[in-house]
Amino acid sequence: MTWSKTVDEFLGEWQNGTGWYVYPTKRFKTVTIYAAWIRELEPSARARGALLPHVLRRGTRAWPTRVLMEQQLESLYGASFRADVGKLGDKQLLSFHITVVNGQFLPEHPDTVAAALDFLTEVLDHPQLVDGRFPDEVVDQEKELIKRQISALINDKGQYALSRLIELVADGQRFGLKKLGTPQEIDQVSGDLLVDFLNENRQESPFVFAVVGDVDPDRIQKHMAERWGRGDRRPLTTIQPYTGRHDRNTVVERQDVRQGKLNLAFRTNITAKDPQYPALVMYSGILGGFSHSKLFLNVREKASLAYYAYSRIDPAVALMIIGAGIEFDDYEAARRIIEEQVEAMRAGQFSPEEMAFTLKAYTNDVLSEEDNPGQLIGRQLEQLLIGGGLSGPQLIDALGRVTSAEIVEVAKQVELDTVYFLTSEGDERHGG
């Protein structure tokens, strides 16, 4: 049976700590189902939050081992399932995603959506427990793997430099916390603690459920109401933006690397729900969002200092980040050129053409998101956790109405907060 109404937008609502959102569409061959418990990111519980999805991935009542779960997913024509921890601002998301091919495109037209909903429900509601607790060996194995994942954060130098910068900026504010916790915090988690933690989430944590694909919204709402509609859940709070202030604090660190990573954080004081947000988006796009932008043209194309140079905004915590991968010796030159571009924006030195290119590029980006189920769900989550903001065609309209004066006004508000430079051990020029 195929649902005939395809509205191509999210239906659903947030009520009593739970939200269900369905995007019925015929654009996709797959159906993507997402569920998450939303928690405050905090040192006391983040390690349990990081572990729980992985432990739930190890077995359910119907499929008690990892092998049996994998076999079930294979039988569902290679359904993909992920259980992991995510982070958005100061929130920790205990996330579960399952994607199945819609049965109408498969031999004998199986109801893969029903099977996927069953699978997800098993994972959330019927974990494999032995004497009321998660088996020690499972918990110990997953603890070890998470600890290794925490140490492995240094492997990706670009990501590492970025996360060091955010840590320095946040300076104690919760959005700077790592979603996985520390190895010491992980060590303290036991199988008993995790069962209590699971029950607490099932009863009290705000819960979001979202589906994208050719599905019947009534069926999804019904599943939600029957399975997860009960309980007295905490109300959802929105993400707290950055409120601190550093005076161009510069930190240099050294590792055995071949390329320096220069990252700058700016305070914007604007989140996605603010009226100035569309002007901020245009500002960052002209400065460094695209290959026609000032940073790419001046740092890469004119000075040949970098392969990449970009700016992007964090719509939740009110920060703008600029990043470039450079030669160690080019630190001063690259920083000077970057700061000159920021200054040029303040002085209103951008043309109608730069504005027009930027608007078109965002139009392309925003519309293209709608071809990707994961991005559609991400956008919905962001709006929920920021507490508003425009998306899709409405965002495009708002960007089109932004004036150059409004961009200059934003430019004057954006202030350099913290600079982080990851350089080589042999680079003696930069004192730490």
Residues lying near another protein in the complex (CB under 8 A) are found at 25-30, 65-67, 70-71, 73-79, 99-101, 105-107, 137, 141, 144-145, 148-149, 151-158, 255-259, 290-292, 300-301, 304-308, 325-327, 356-357, 359-361, 363-365, 367-368, 370-372
Give the shortest CB-184-to-another protein separation in angstroms: 16
Q: How far is the CB of 156 from another protein (least distance, A)?
A: 7
Nearer to another protein (CB atom), residue 104 or residue 199: 104
Are 402 and 285 in contact, with CB atoms under 8 Å apart? no
We find the least distance from the C-beta atom of residue 417 to another protein, in angstroms, to be 26
Residue (12 or 59) nearer to another protein, CB: 59
* Closest distance to another protein from the beta carbon of 362 (Å): 8
- Shortest reach from residue 200's CB to another protein, in Å: 26
Annotate 259-286 with three-state secondary structure: CEEEEEEEECCCCCCCCCHHHHHHHHHH
Whichever of 119 and 290 has its CB closer to another protein, that residue is 290
Kindly tell me which of 30 and 173 has the beta carbon lying closer to another protein: 30
- Of the pair 358, 418, the CB lying nearest another protein is at 358
Residue among 105 and 409 whose Cβ is closer to another protein: 105
- In the complex, the smallest distance separating the C-beta of residue 300 from another protein, rounded to whole angstroms, is 6
